[in-house]
Structure 1
Amino acid sequence: DDPTLPLVAGTSDIDWDDPASWDADTAVTAIERLCRTRTAQVPVYDISLSARTGETTVDIGGTPLFIAEGIFAAEIVDRCRELGLLADALCLSRGPVRTFRRRFLRDLKEGRKSVPFLLRRGWRLMRLERSIVARQTALGAYACDREEALSRLAAAAVAGRPAPTSAP
């Protein structure tokens, strides 16, 4: 119900894919707390309601790294790097049609929004996918497929430092 949330052009739908719909400062604070203390309070959202519904505690224990994922992860790559928190920054690139299919099926299964909304959003994002990946890489993420991402994450976990900038 925040009147400052961005809208999808020509609609009354909140544009949850716009970085202006996200609180990057709060995210960086939580990530820093997780890295320093291994625990943090994080919000719980009900996507079908477009609402924050509470908080929960995340405890990462003794894991060598954790994955902060999401459409806005690249927005904070530089800040996390400056704070010494970043092991790697990845953007999974699977192609627009495959991404559309996976996103639609996930959102449908989870009851995130109505089918017409999911189709409109999916079609819009499918058309924008190449520019989305380009923006993510411009912000410091490395575009790769699933296998390369898993390899880079394993290397980061073992080495405790960023993965190489190119595939082995």
Structure 2
Amino acid sequence: MTGSPLFIAEGIFAAEIVEECRRRGILAGAYALRRPRGATFVRRLARDLAEQRKAPGVLIRRGVALLRAEPAVLRRQTGLGAEAAHAREILRRVADLVAGHPHR
């Protein structure tokens, strides 16, 4: 991170570092993706079926379990300091951060 004007952490575990980034004074924003659960289920299932890594029945059961768990995951991420927002809003905010940063 030394010498980098900005860094972006993404993924399900990114919220784990929000508080430490805030403590160090390097947090510009923290967002948790909020999207319709059904859309996430369909995307994930289509991807996993295309990759053919597991049997379709396993993928469907796993997908349903993740669909049910998604509200708890979002609550945990927001509890760790991320703000829930839709993809378009997150992209706009990140673009604004990059555009306004003096070292881009």
Query: Scaled by the length of structure 2, what TM-score is found?
Result: 0.78
Matches of 1:84 and 1:124, distance apart in 2: 37
Identity across matched positions, percent? 48
* Counterpart check, 1:143 vs 2:84: yes
The SS at the match of 1:36 is coil
* Counterpart check, 1:36 vs 2:2: yes
* Counterpart check, 1:73 vs 2:19: no
Matches of 1:120 and 1:67, distance apart in 2: 32
Q: CA RMSD in A?
A: 2.0
Which has a greater percent of helix? 2
- Structure-2 residue corresponding to 1:159: 100
5+ residue gaps, structure 2? none
Query: CA separation of 1:122/1:155 partners in 2, compared to 1, >3 Å: closer, same or farther?
Result: same
Larger relative CO (CA 8 A, sep 6+): 1 or 2? 2
Q: How many residue pairs are counted as aligned between the two chains? A: 100
- Structure-2 residue corresponding to 1:96: 37
Which has a greater percent of strand? 1
Query: CA separation of 1:85/1:103 partners in 2, compared to 1, >3 Å: closer, same or farther?
Result: farther
Deviation at 1:145, TM superposition (A): 0.8
Moved over 6 A (4+): none
Matches of 1:159 and 1:130, distance apart in 2: 33
Query: Scaled by the length of structure 1, what TM-score is found?
Result: 0.52
